[in-house]
Structure 1
Amino acid sequence: MPRLTFFAQKQNAEDILNKVINKFEQVEDYEVDLTISADLQMVKMPDMKLKVFFKQPDKLKISSEGFAMVPKDGVNLNPLKFLKSEYSAVYVKNEKDEEEKINLDVIKIIPLSDTADYILSTVWIDTENYLVRKLETVTKRGVNVSSKFYYNNTAYALPSKVVVSFNQSGEVKPEQDEEKRFRQSLKGVVTLTYSGYKINQGLKDEFFK
């Protein structure tokens, strides 16, 4: 049997994704300081400093000294949270990340639910530590989102930095209204920097009320 065929059969996308999810679930709760820096086309935003608290499976609390309106999904550190709905996963290949000097399994994820807000996701997973290193997603609104994850400590699935770049696909037409043309042309990079993790402190449910 050719080696390539054997290697392809040996890889199971579901098994790999489950190992990534299981690693994230080892973190029962955490507290972390978060700085959000945005470099957006046509939009000026000051850096935001927040404190984020999380408890499994989905309790999240965000606090800040000043006014900060941040979508909770935007600071959720579980990059595979969208797998809660039905999906199909296909193993693509194994490749080398020359920047990080690690091997990555590449998996494509296709939603099976009509309510999913994405069309296709591609995820690059660290084969040794079962950490998501990169995630590319195409949403139903035509937004292409690419997220790069960096880790100071690979023992937990908690990144030290996430760099998110996005752009709206599709041609911008003169006859479109101003708001739609603005959304169509919006591009940018958002950097989330996490520091001072406090992990598995035993946060109580009442804290999140």
Structure 2
Amino acid sequence: MNTLGMKLSVPALLLLFLLPGFTSRAQDATEFIKKVKDKLALVNDYEAEGIMKTDVAFMKVPESKVTIFYKKPDKFKIKKQDGISIVPKGGGNINLAALFEGNNYTAVPAGKGTVNNEPVTIVKLLPLDEKSDVVVSTLYIDEKEALVKKAIITTRENGTYEMEMQYGKYASRGLPDTISFLFATKDYKLPKGLAFDYDAGGQQPKTTTATSNQKGKIQISYTSYTINKGLANDLFK
């Protein structure tokens, strides 16, 4: 065998050696996502009560009671009793189920990690649609429970934001007890689905300038869910 032939064969041999392992991990990632998706698919719609807390440097927003409505695949609405109203804009992006809609993505394994000191498997979702606003979603999944504990979502229009979920009573349906949205405040942009309009009597944003390293946080603590009651589409207008 000549030397040139040996040199050319080494990469091929390495590829043959590594490919089965990568293929196996990719299949595992797809299986993890399927289990998460199957659990979320149990919920066609819900109406939930909760408490919303806002921690943004350039806003002073009081803690408030909210009612949250959701219906497959991407209808989402938050209703406050008074004060600041919330206008859904692309609300599907803050519902985990919408990330998996249509299977229009590739699941790529991205190793292991921890969330709140608990082990998770990391999977990246790459949209197949080149025009998708979401560029990549990095999911931190509890394999045993098939629950997404954390998601980092990078978009074309609204930068990157994070969602952190804590589960309890409704974990069997993939619904969190608490969900937190974390985002950079440099452009005064909130994650899609959490854009604020200020009522006449509401508190206006402060005019202070946000710096690139400032973070904003919106947390919704759910107190109850009413699941699959059959919400009308008109409710989301």
Q: TM-score, normalised by structure 2?
A: 0.67
Over the matched positions of the two proteins, sequence identity in percent amounts to 25
1:166 to 170, 178, 183: 183
Post-superposition offset of 1:54: 2.7
User: 2:223 matched to 1:195?
Assistant: yes
Aligned residue for 1:26, secondary structure, equals: coil
Post-superposition offset of 1:38: 1.1
User: 2:232 matched to 1:208?
Assistant: no
Letter aligned with residue 218 of structure 2: V
Q: What residue in structure 2 maps to residue 55 of structure 1?
A: 71
CA contact (8 A) 1:59 1:208 kept: no
CA RMSD between the two structures: 3.4
Structure 2 residue runs without a partner (length 5+): 1-16, 188-206
Q: What residue in structure 1 maps to residue 193 of structure 2?
A: none
CA contact (8 A) 1:77 1:158 kept: no
User: Could you tell me how far apart the structure 2 residues matched to 1:204 and 1:58 are?
Assistant: 13
Deviations 1:80-126 (A, max 9, x none): 41343733220122344453x4x322011222323222322210111
Aligned residue for 1:146, secondary structure, equals: strand
Q: What residue in structure 1 maps to residue 111 of structure 2?
A: 93
The structure with the largest helix share of the pair is 2
Aligned residue for 1:124, secondary structure, equals: strand
Counterparts of 1:2-41 in structure 2, within 5 Å, are 9-10=24-25, 11-41=27-57
User: Could you tell me how far apart the structure 2 residues matched to 1:83 and 1:75 are?
Assistant: 11
Q: What residue in structure 1 maps to residue 130 of structure 2?
A: 114
Counterparts of 1:57-76 in structure 2, within 5 Å, are 57-72=73-88
Which of structures 1 and 2 has the bigger CA Rg?
2
Counterparts of 1:150-161 in structure 2, within 5 Å, are 150-153=166-169, 154-161=171-178
Q: What residue in structure 1 maps to residue 161 of structure 2?
A: 145
User: Could you tell me how far apart the structure 2 residues matched to 1:77 and 1:141 are?
Assistant: 15
